[in-house]
Amino acid sequence: MPEVVLITGASSGLGRAAARHLADRGYQVYGTSRRPPQELAGESFPLLQMDVTDEDSVRRAVAEVIERAGRIDVLLNNAGFGLAGAVEDTSIEEARRQFETNFFGLLRVTRAVLPSMRERRAGLIVNTSSIGGLIGVPFTSMYAATKFAIEGLSEVLRLELRPWGIRVVLVEPGDFSTAFTSRRVQTAASQGDSPYAGAFARSLAIIERDETQGSDPQLFARLIERIIRSRSPRLRYVVGSFDQRLAVLLKRLLPDKWFEAIIRGHYKV
């Protein structure tokens, strides 16, 4: 029987690329989106409505997949959005909304799926982090904070779930050309008379340029399939351009002040 894969945030971007690729390769894929399924007709896989910020919505969608497919073999936690603005220009409420989707949403879906995986003593959880969860990029503090948090959560989950036969993997994408760029939210204060306005505008322009010139989402989709097929997947997989993968290595090797100088130079801060 084909493996059953549940993918959150599958209506666009990396999630949709992975869902389409896996469905075309014969996997039994179920995608989720906040938008009603009838608005997303025509996909090669069924789309279920799920709001990862709502506990009941998550439980209903997970229960529906298990009812229809009998199990969930693979969970790809991919739902999320980007928030941009200086730390001082980010309200506590804006920060909470970012965490509610990117971090607590991932946690809700994971907790909903785990009981059935533990019962079967098998499963794979793939958490979409980011190179931004390894390297802080100016004016993306809350997004980076959610991804750094996912890194820590995943390390602990991998240790806790190993006795149950459940594997946990982090995928850390660099820049990809998707709708993520156009859907980024800017904090309210950053759009006013902010003392950070000039630096923010310069950095955001570079961030958006790098994203729009980024890698093909199929690179991410093919990696997800390789991870699913692996008998012993690693904890971390960095995926993206050579330059960005090199940046991750340089952060490990260089003194902090040298690496910070590279980041400041690239993002013009």
The pLDDT tens digits of the residues spanning 191-234 come to: 989 999 999 999 999 999 999 999 999 999 999 999 999 999 99
User: What are the residue ranges spanned by the domains of the chain?
Assistant: 4-241
Annotated catalytic, 147?
yes
- Is residue 128's pLDDT more than 60? yes
Look at phi and psi of residue 171 and say left if phi exceeds 0, alpha if psi is from -120 to 50, else beta.
beta
Cα gap 156→122, rounded to integer Å:
17
Q: Which of 27, 30, 129, 196 is catalytic?
A: 129
Pairing of β 4-7 and β 28-33: parallel
Which residues make Cβ contacts (< 8 Å) with residue 233, sequence separation at least 6?
124, 167, 169, 227
Indicate the CATH number for domain 4-241: 3.40.50.720
pTM to 2 decimals? Answer: 0.95
Question: Residue 95 corresponds to which tokens in the numbers above?
Answer: 């920060």
pLDDT of residue 1: 77
Q: Which of 11, 33, 190, 215 is catalytic?
A: 11
Annotated catalytic, 268?
no
pLDDT of residue 43: 81
Which residues make Cβ contacts (< 8 Å) with residue 196, sequence separation at least 6?
86, 88, 89, 139, 190
Annotated catalytic, 154?
no
Annotated catalytic, 143?
yes
Confidence tier at 40 by pLDDT (50, 70, 90): low
Q: Which of 143, 196, 237, 267 is catalytic?
A: 143
Task: Select from 189, 184, 224 the least CA-distant residue to 204.
Answer: 184
Q: Which of 130, 147, 190, 203 is catalytic?
A: 147
Average pLDDT score, the chain? 96
pLDDT of residue 243: 94
Cα gap 228→209, rounded to integer Å:
32
